[in-house]
Amino acid sequence: MSADQHAETILETDIKDGVAWLTLNRPKKINALSAELVAAARAQVAALERDDAVKVIVLTGANRNFSVGYDIAQEVEVGLARPEDWHAALSNNVGLSMAVWASTKPTIAAVDGWCLAGACELAMACDMIIATDRAKFGEPEIRFGSGPVTLLMPFVLGQKKTMELLLTGDTIDATEAERIGMVNRVVAPEDLEDAVQKLAQKIALTPLVTLRLTKIALTRAYEAMGLRNAVNVNLDLAATLNAAQAPEKTQFVTLVREQGLRKALDFRDSRYGALSE
């Protein structure tokens, strides 16, 4: 299989009525964001940015889940160890989220099922989130010795709820996510695609130049508040954090390498409790 064919497999694109749907398509891995998927998604967002036939970009996931975040098993297999190695890898991940954030076209995350860790950040990078009533959000990275990669949550939720979620690694359901302002609307699973398409088409009625300039103004407002600087500072710290050693983290990584990710997650859950389902 060629690289281009593989990219088409892990990321599907469907354009209808001026709305581009990008579907993360690794269902056997719950749409985990591998390096290849991150690169494919970033390239496609850039391509859609240049396509004047597209007015709105939608991100979603295949098979009843958005994504469980970055591919931990792949990171362990690559064997990242030094801060500079982590910084290079994490820069790619941040690059995708910030490409979505900085897109001059409105973006919507259509979220069903799990939306965790780096995928939760990717959803928050979108301008709006529509979720099903079975969606689950959270950044559980602290439970295996890591931390947020793209630090957007303080700007989306504010200090108190961000502190709680990032320091505990807890997950929340869609109703709570809507209550605290992470999600715009909660719908039944069977209504997700229709609800998102209707919202996107309503936005797409506005001329593209108007959408672009309005989006740029809104993006600059948040960046004037320090969003991009906070993301960059966190990236530097995250590289050091991921290279730092702790007994629990060493055991987690060893289990991933020797017995697989499921055993490592069971170890994590024996300490913190399983993520709610």
pLDDT, tens digit (0-9, with 9 covering 90-100), for 203-235: 999 999 999 999 999 999 999 999 999 999 999
Rounded Cα distance between 174 and 242, Å, is 29
10 in a domain, yes or no? Answer: yes
CB within 8 A of 240, min separation 6: which ones?
Answer: 83, 86
The phi, psi pair for 11, rounded to 5°, reads -140, 115
pLDDT, tens digit (0-9, with 9 covering 90-100), for 119-176: 999 999 999 999 999 999 999 999 988 999 999 999 999 999 999 999 999 999 999 9
Q: Could you tell me if 30 and 67 are in contact, meaning their C-beta atoms sit under 8 angstroms apart?
A: yes
63: number of CA atoms within 13 Å, CB side?
Answer: 13
38 in a domain, yes or no? Answer: yes
161 in a domain, yes or no? Answer: yes
277 in a domain, yes or no? Answer: no
Quote the pTM value: 0.94
101 in a domain, yes or no? Answer: yes
For 113, the domain range is: 3-272
Average pLDDT, the chain: 93
Q: In what order do the strands lie in the sheet with 185-187?
A: 11-16, 19-24, 56-61, 107-111, 128-132, 185-187
Coil, strand, or helix at residue 100?
helix
**Nearest CA among 12, 237, 30 for reference residue 115:** 30
Domain total for the chain?
Answer: 1
- The H helix count followed by the E strand count for the chain is 13, 9
pLDDT given for residue 77 in this prediction: 84
75 in a domain, yes or no? Answer: yes
**Nearest CA among 186, 171, 162 for reference residue 109:** 186
Any idea how long the chain is? 277
State the Cα torsion 211-213-215-216 to the nearest 10°: 160
Q: What is the CATH number of the domain that holds 84?
A: 3.90.226.10
**Nearest CA among 151, 182, 155, 181 for reference residue 166:** 151
pLDDT > 50? residue 5? no
DSSP state of 141: G
Q: Could you tell me if 126 and 69 are in contact, meaning their C-beta atoms sit under 8 angstroms apart?
A: no
Q: Could you tell me if 15 and 21 are in contact, meaning their C-beta atoms sit under 8 angstroms apart?
A: yes
State the Cα torsion 196-198-204-206 to the nearest 10°: -120
pLDDT > 60? residue 277? no
256 in a domain, yes or no? Answer: yes
